[in-house]
Structure 1
Amino acid sequence: MPTRLTTVTTWVAALATILTPLPAQAAAPPAHPASNERGWVTSTLRHMSLEQKVGQLFATYVYGGDATEPTAADRAANRAAFGVETPAEVIDRYQLGGVCYFSWSHNLDSPRQIATLSNGLQRAALGDGAKGRVPLLISTDQEQGTVLRMPSPAAQFPGAMALGAARSPRAARTAAEVTGRELSAVGIRQPYAPIADVNVNPGNPVIGVRSFGADPTLVADLTAAQVDGFQGRARVTAVAKHFPGHGDTATDSHTGLPVINHSRAEWDRIDAPPFRRAIQAGVESIMTAHIVVPALDPSGDPATLSPTILTGVLRGELGFRGVIVTDALNMAGVRAKYGDERVPVLALKAGADQLLMPPDLALARAAVLRAVASGELTERRIDESVRRILGVKYRQGLARSPLVDVEQAVRTVGAPEHLAAVTRVTDPTLTAVRNDAGLLPLPRADRSVLVTGWDSAAFAPVATVADGFTARDARATARPATLPSDAVIAATAAQAAEHDLTVVLVNKAWDTTVTDPRATQQRLVAALLATGRPVVVVAVRDPYDIAYLPGLSSYLATYSYTRAAMDALVRALHGELSPSGRLPVTIPTADGTGTVLYPYGHGLSW
């Protein structure tokens, strides 16, 4: 796992330096003369058929952990989705330009397996070396925090809002550089990060802690820092998302079509600054949002399909010259107004370059080819996008070295210096919001402690916190209670009444609009407080939960539930780490009046 308990002296020393430079594992990427890039791109494009060019525009998932020998279940899944059985055959049939890895498609298991899969897919893309064959751009959603794909032993950093609480561009850059190094080592060159959305809506169901915060300047600073971290020594393509800004919505674009009602002046002041800074920092790719912004385009079309927004604003006004990648085309937000056959054509007409995960790849590819044949799209327009995509691949070195060293990947992912960086970055993010009774910090003592509340099978935060108490002389009991029933709530409260202290973890307890009955978390906390025993409440995701949990006296926000975040929490509860994070958002009251409960920048220390 990413971190282990260590001595107080070591942590103090680490905090004193906060972020020491990473050991130089590799020299800075060599500069590629623009003439060399132009020559390779022009030559490659000249030898590509129209079908190969159109294939370069698409990136999608494939099922299986091996390019040529997937499991029987994955063969069946590929056959149902793509008409062929193996990932290599999917690449070859559709002449894909990119692949996106997911755990649910069984692409991500261990560094050795991932690196081997990447090499297998690259060999499939290159085929027999015939002209016109091009390496893949392999991607994944590695935002860190609550959205990460690489499993342990990979470095698992806190997410964007945690970094916002630390207020450190240097920490944000370090997190991106280490993440990028590990991704690159296994052949993944396009992390869909950083998030450039400014989360000014506490009820945002899709962004939330994925954003650096509610202040445009803070978000812009940390976005630019992460662009530099990804694209510097790590040499992977940063993807700033989701343009033109997904931070002020109460609708999830996965399930609906959000409308952002900012005026043009508000968009310029709130949403635009992080994207402007990302472009100034040289970001190579920007992802679109499936949102309607009437102030930018009154047509009602989502930004992904809007020439006014993508070509007019992003390319024209902001001067972006890199690759525009759509958010996933299987999301409801982009499918609400037009059929699946029209969406990829309209996205290209709007100015997009890379078409991510259409719901029917064969249909989408055929639609683009028909649009070229009919004259709705020109081959020159296709060439514009392919040139941009090829340019990214050349600058990453894929033209010369598309394969990775599998043994080096094993050594790089989860390297000791990377895990040490996780701790240094995570510690300053912890935010103490309330400590009214002065309960914290706790002394090491022979006490009985119940740790309960929201849990995750992948990270086991309840057990991690309980183990931390046990290591400090307490008698700790771990009792996960994720979205508990009334019977579980009653039993947990009865158990808490027999303990000296209860620590309860909550995750998005404010959101009672989703299918899961998250309001049960609110009832669990109320029942624990009613015991009269000391209770410490910890938000392991959205800091906004405190507005929906009346009566508590001790509350901390970790913004994520990684092992490193839980380790920092235990040390802070015992006074071994002084909380230094400050809220990167404003927490309003729960009544909808907009009254401020805790202001931006609030944070306690001890």
Structure 2
Amino acid sequence: MSRIPTSTTPDGFGYRDLNGNGVLDPYEDTRLGPEERTEDLLGRLGLDEKIGLLFHTVIESGPGGTVLEGPGAISKSGTPHVVVGSRVNHFNVHALGSAREAARWQNAVQELAETTPHGIPVTISTDPRHGFSENAGASFAAGYFSQWPEPLGIAALGDLEVLRGYAEAVRSEYVAVGIRAALHPTLDLASEPRWARQMHTFGADPQLVTEFGVEFLRGLQGERLGPASVAGTAKHFPGGGPQADGEDAHFPYGREQVYPGGRFAEHLAPFRAAVAAGTAAIMPYYGMPVGLDLDGETVPEVGFGFNERIVTGLLREELGYDGVVLTDWELVNDNHVGDQVLPARAWGVEHLDPAGRMELLLAAGCDQFGGEECVEVLAGLVRSGRVSEERIDASARRLLLVKMRLGLFDDPFVDEDAAERTVGRAEVVAAGLDAQAASVTVLADEGGLLPLSGADRRVYVEGMSREAAEALGTVVDRPEDADLAVVRLAAPHEPRSDLFLEAWFHQGSLDFPPGLPVRLARLREHCPLVVDVTLDRPAVLGPVLDAADVVVASFGSGGPALARALQGEARGRLPFDLPRSMADVRAHHPDQPGFDDPLLPRGHGIPLGVGAGRS
């Protein structure tokens, strides 16, 4: 693996000679503290190396865990170009192969990094990848990793022990393959029911989001960052939930973030706690605050990453945060994906050129540019005197310190055999399946049909595999021949376009198509009907509740887990309110967590075996 042999001092101390000068330099000396080592290294770096630290872009794994020499499906450049040519060493990875292949690829990238002048190791990051949703702008399905409910499902359980097991699974599996930074947890409040990013939040309760967010961070990082840690990124500061009309700020039509209910403090609360808990990084949201006043001062209407009042005034000065501030993706340049061009998310500063946007991000207090690799733009800003080298040093110091604390300078490599043993261990997979089943939430059970006992019944299913349904009985092909029908539905949304990212985001109306309740009622004429709705965001469920005998909600549960849930394991509670109608949704303040008169309130969930309807 490593191309750098261990050298030995005359008194017998072994070290990695990262810069190849034959001398034990302080930054190579494991006996010194991370702050002292960081300061020594910073003084040795050339400007190009410092600049490279300030970029965090996407690279991809090649076939079989090889290094991709050229651009990939999403990555803009080949890995050697960005690591060696541009001196970049923070990377978000998308698709990964098996655990062994992921470890092999990580090691190959670290070997490449060893050829740079000071051997600065690479930090590999990822969006969440232990659930069911596959969205290249937000998360990845579990694949070879253990599969758990989405964070919304963890919140539905409300069980700190389950949360701790989930966090440990994430940490241990990430570390095994060399992923040392998580672009999560998402600490946004799910306050706007139409917003597309709720599945990865811990729901709408500010207290629970705060408690679970901090506990998850501790599970990733430990009490302090070390060689067994994953550096967490709390996002999206200062709270990404209150989007105008529920539209997502990835897109120009969703750039406005509004606070008509005056609830800004509730959205900020989880981030206050994350700062106190020592989160390694914080990511401001794309959103542009509109009509937001803080301490009698109107906040500039520019995206949060560009917003000095928010990043420096609120985060750095008021909250006392001195960790890494990583921008969300592609705030500087337009993003070219195939033949599509997606505009830079420079909301409120669209008129600035890339150099002007970058200058403003640094002036606001950000340290690192997400999704960018244009090192030449920053070099030009320094050469022209628009950005000082001292300003670059301030961010480079923070970024190097995280690498030092993670132990990457001492040993960035992982063991392929250990990775294969660790990722997807049977007991962890079983724990994830248990959590999937338990997180299912019974919303209505009019006749006390649940829990289902035995398997002496004929079952008709939709949206569920035949194999999974066989746990409930003999599967038949027609509802006319069934004793029970089980139908799985996705929460409603309005498809927008085939644009990259936009096609994957569920936005718009929460109403089901008007014909759905009619079709469900016809199924119910033949046999009792159980409906499961995967709630990646709330839905207007009244018509479905009227059309079914049993309605349950799931938040990332496979077919086998749903079968177990219906047989008695479901114990979830709603992590957000369900609205009565779209009229109520439109009248609702986007920053208000919950409704004054919901159809079903947050915390609702029926104990199995107790017949109950809806209020």
Indicate conservation of the 8 Å contact 1:586/1:598, yes or no.
yes
Residue of structure 1 equivalent to 2:494: 512
Q: Structure 1: how far apart are the matches of 2:416 and 2:183?
A: 23
Q: 1:173 aligns with which of 164, 186, 202?
A: 164
Shift of 1:340: 3.7
Q: Given the alignment of the two structures, is residue 385 of structure 1 paired with residue 392 of structure 2, yes or no?
A: no
C-alpha spacing 1:427/1:37, structure 2 compared with 1 (3 Å): same
Q: Given the alignment of the two structures, is residue 101 of structure 1 paired with residue 93 of structure 2, yes or no?
A: yes
Indicate conservation of the 8 Å contact 1:430/1:558, yes or no.
yes
Q: Given the alignment of the two structures, is residue 75 of structure 1 paired with residue 70 of structure 2, yes or no?
A: yes
Q: 1:571 aligns with which of 564, 568, 590?
A: 564
Residue of structure 2 equivalent to 1:88: 80
Residue of structure 1 equivalent to 2:188: 197
C-alpha spacing 1:275/1:137, structure 2 compared with 1 (3 Å): same
C-alpha spacing 1:470/1:423, structure 2 compared with 1 (3 Å): closer
Residue of structure 1 equivalent to 2:515: 523
> Structure 2 matches for 1:550-569, cutoff 5 A?
550=544, 551-553=546-548, 554-561=550-557, 563=558, 566-569=559-562
Deviations 1:549-591 (A, max 9, x none): 4423311111114x3xx3332112223x2x2211111111123
Residue of structure 2 equivalent to 1:491: none
Q: Structure 2: how far apart are the matches of 1:99 and 1:600?
A: 38
Q: Structure 2: how far apart are the matches of 1:115 and 1:33?
A: 24
Q: Structure 2: how far apart are the matches of 1:98 and 1:111?
A: 20
Q: Given the alignment of the two structures, is residue 236 of structure 1 paired with residue 230 of structure 2, yes or no?
A: yes
Indicate conservation of the 8 Å contact 1:109/1:151, yes or no.
no
Residue of structure 2 equivalent to 1:356: 370
Q: Secondary structure at the match of 2:88?
A: coil
Q: How large is the RMSD of aligned CA atoms in angstroms?
A: 2.7
Shift of 1:403: 1.0
C-alpha spacing 1:143/1:202, structure 2 compared with 1 (3 Å): farther
Shift of 1:136: 1.0
Q: Structure 2: how far apart are the matches of 1:539 and 1:217?
A: 26
Residue of structure 1 equivalent to 2:98: 110
Residue of structure 1 equivalent to 2:588: none
> Structure 2 matches for 1:269-348, cutoff 5 A?
270-294=266-290, 295=292, 298-329=299-330, 330=335, 332=343, 334-336=345-347, 337-338=349-350, 339-348=353-362
The residue identity in structure 1 corresponding to 2:81 is E
Q: Structure 1: how far apart are the matches of 2:282 and 2:392?
A: 18
Shift of 1:173: 2.4
Q: Structure 2: how far apart are the matches of 1:345 and 1:69?
A: 36
Residue of structure 1 equivalent to 2:49: 52
C-alpha spacing 1:543/1:89, structure 2 compared with 1 (3 Å): closer
Indicate conservation of the 8 Å contact 1:55/1:96, yes or no.
yes
Q: Structure 1: how far apart are the matches of 2:152 and 2:575?
A: 7
The residue identity in structure 2 corresponding to 1:165 is A
Shift of 1:497: 4.3
Shift of 1:406: 1.4
Q: Structure 2: how far apart are the matches of 1:538 and 1:58?
A: 43
Shift of 1:193: 1.2
C-alpha spacing 1:289/1:333, structure 2 compared with 1 (3 Å): farther
Can you give the 5+ residue segments of structure 2 that lack an aligned partner in the other structure? 1-28, 336-341, 498-502, 585-594, 609-615
Q: Given the alignment of the two structures, is residue 38 of structure 1 paired with residue 35 of structure 2, yes or no?
A: yes
Q: Secondary structure at the match of 1:434?
A: strand
Q: Secondary structure at the match of 1:326?
A: coil
Q: Secondary structure at the match of 2:345?
A: helix
Q: Structure 1: how far apart are the matches of 2:268 and 2:364?
A: 19
Indicate conservation of the 8 Å contact 2:124/2:181, yes or no.
yes
C-alpha spacing 1:555/1:34, structure 2 compared with 1 (3 Å): farther
The residue identity in structure 2 corresponding to 1:583 is L
Shift of 1:548: 5.9
Q: Which moved more, 1:344-353 or 1:274-283?
A: 344-353
Shift of 1:152: 3.1
Indicate conservation of the 8 Å contact 1:254/1:332, yes or no.
no
Q: Structure 1: how far apart are the matches of 2:209 and 2:289?
A: 20
Shift of 1:171: 2.0
Q: 2:217 aligns with which of 218, 227, 232?
A: 227
C-alpha spacing 1:431/1:540, structure 2 compared with 1 (3 Å): same
C-alpha spacing 1:396/1:525, structure 2 compared with 1 (3 Å): farther
The residue identity in structure 2 corresponding to 1:212 is F
C-alpha spacing 1:76/1:243, structure 2 compared with 1 (3 Å): closer
Q: Structure 2: how far apart are the matches of 1:154 and 1:289?
A: 28
Indicate conservation of the 8 Å contact 1:65/1:114, yes or no.
no
Shift of 1:34: 11
Q: Structure 2: how far apart are the matches of 1:139 and 1:372?
A: 27
Q: Structure 2: how far apart are the matches of 1:127 and 1:305?
A: 35
Q: Structure 2: how far apart are the matches of 1:79 and 1:537?
A: 37
Q: Structure 1: how far apart are the matches of 2:281 and 2:170?
A: 17
The structure in which a higher percent of residues are helix is 1
Q: 2:486 aligns with which of 485, 503, 528?
A: 503
The two structures have a TM-score, normalised by structure 2, of 0.79
Q: Structure 1: how far apart are the matches of 2:232 and 2:261?
A: 27
> Structure 2 matches for 1:427-506, cutoff 5 A?
427-453=437-463, 462-463=464-465, 466-476=466-476, 495-506=478-489
Percent identity between the two aligned chains? 29
Shift of 1:604: 0.5
Deviations 1:172-225 (A, max 9, x none): 2221121011011101101111110011111112x1221111110010000000
Residue of structure 1 equivalent to 2:606: 604
C-alpha spacing 1:70/1:403, structure 2 compared with 1 (3 Å): closer
Indicate conservation of the 8 Å contact 2:444/2:552, yes or no.
yes
Residue of structure 2 equivalent to 1:482: none
